[in-house]
Structure 1
């Protein structure tokens, strides 16, 4: 059991380190609205992880594997969500440029705020929802949960440990590993906040994250199973 847990933790860490939509959204929220907002986005993302894990445990995620219609439906919804987030980021970058021009603020102007502030109109609840929606709207997360988690359930489950409990327990470990990794990401963003908080840099980051999110959305919409 201990060997299984160690192997699962290592695999979950490698998965967390792979960049994807959640990483982009969490970093954007942290740069835009501060550390607490980034933590809220992380918690939202992990709530999505837990939902997918529980769905896999009770067999609901298997529908994504068995039904092409269900998978494609969620895939299109996820693609629309990512493209919408990307468009919003590009619009925000354009608006910031207009504000800088109107206010006479130079390209290198420092607009750094407290790392614990929630600015830009982003409440903690909204940041939580951004993380949650990004994760839940990604059908790959569901397919991954139903194909990844069962591999680490021992063939001989210990007495008193039903498979359902094992899968939910592994899901919690998966979420905790994610929290550790994204915590490190937020720390790095916070350490670079003084640079990232400059108006010109923030605008470029909005543009880059917008383009990346739109690209991920288009790729998700165009891919075939």
Structure 2
């Protein structure tokens, strides 16, 4: 129980601390509405599922065991955030909306894909599953049991993260009505969101 409690605390800290995943969900929901926010949360946790499977299979160590590969991952993540920032700044107010102001299906698919990539290119998540996850697995277990235990913990993390991310999406949607109700408000929101993305990208090079 203590081990599980420690794992839940570490998982909560990872999800709650502001980072690219949280920022993407909140800003996407604030800019495009609740549906886009919920889709972005699902996309982020799809990326988490991939991280879990890579860690369980031992493939994720290929990144951390090679400094150049890990550095490339960091810069790729920063580059993608920079791309999202520029794209947001150039976006015309209301350009992505479909009927009745709802995001068009194609737009939602892009939101989902962007969310998956933001998570997959997040070094913090990679390190969590490689550095923290094994600490909560008893040593001396057969390889099969070790993988099963890691998979179980990964699923627990995924469920907790998804619940919190859905809450962040609803929070972002609540902000949308206050900040982006007019074309001018939408433009200001785009500037703010784009600036946040560019700021996160710049932190990598600081």
TM-score bracket relative to the smaller structure:
0.7 to 0.9
Structure 2: runs of 5 or more not aligned: none
- For each residue in 1:165-189, what CA deviation from the matched residue of structure 2 results, as whole angstroms up to 9, or x when unmatched? 1111111111111111112222222
Displacement of 1:154 after TM fit? 2.7
Contact 2:31 2:176 in 1 (8 A): no
Match for residue 138 of structure 1?
122
Contact 2:26 2:171 in 1 (8 A): no
Structure 1: runs of 5 or more not aligned: 100-110
**Structure of higher CA gyration radius:** 1
Displacement of 1:219 after TM fit? 2.2
- For each residue in 1:107-137, what CA deviation from the matched residue of structure 2 results, as whole angstroms up to 9, or x when unmatched? xxxx9x979x325x75332221111010112
Aligned pairs for 1:1-225 (under 5 A) are 2-92=1-91, 95-96=92-93, 117-119=102-104, 123-155=107-139, 162-199=145-182, 200-220=184-204, 222=205
4+ residue runs over 6 A deviation? none
Contact 1:62 1:143 in 2 (8 A): no
Displacement of 1:46 after TM fit? 0.6
Displacement of 1:160 after TM fit? 10
Aligned length: 203
TM-score (norm 2): 0.86
Displacement of 1:215 after TM fit? 2.0
Displacement of 1:39 after TM fit? 1.2
TM-score (norm 1): 0.79
Backbone CA RMSD of aligned residues? 2.7
CA distance in 2, matches of 1:55, 1:214: 29
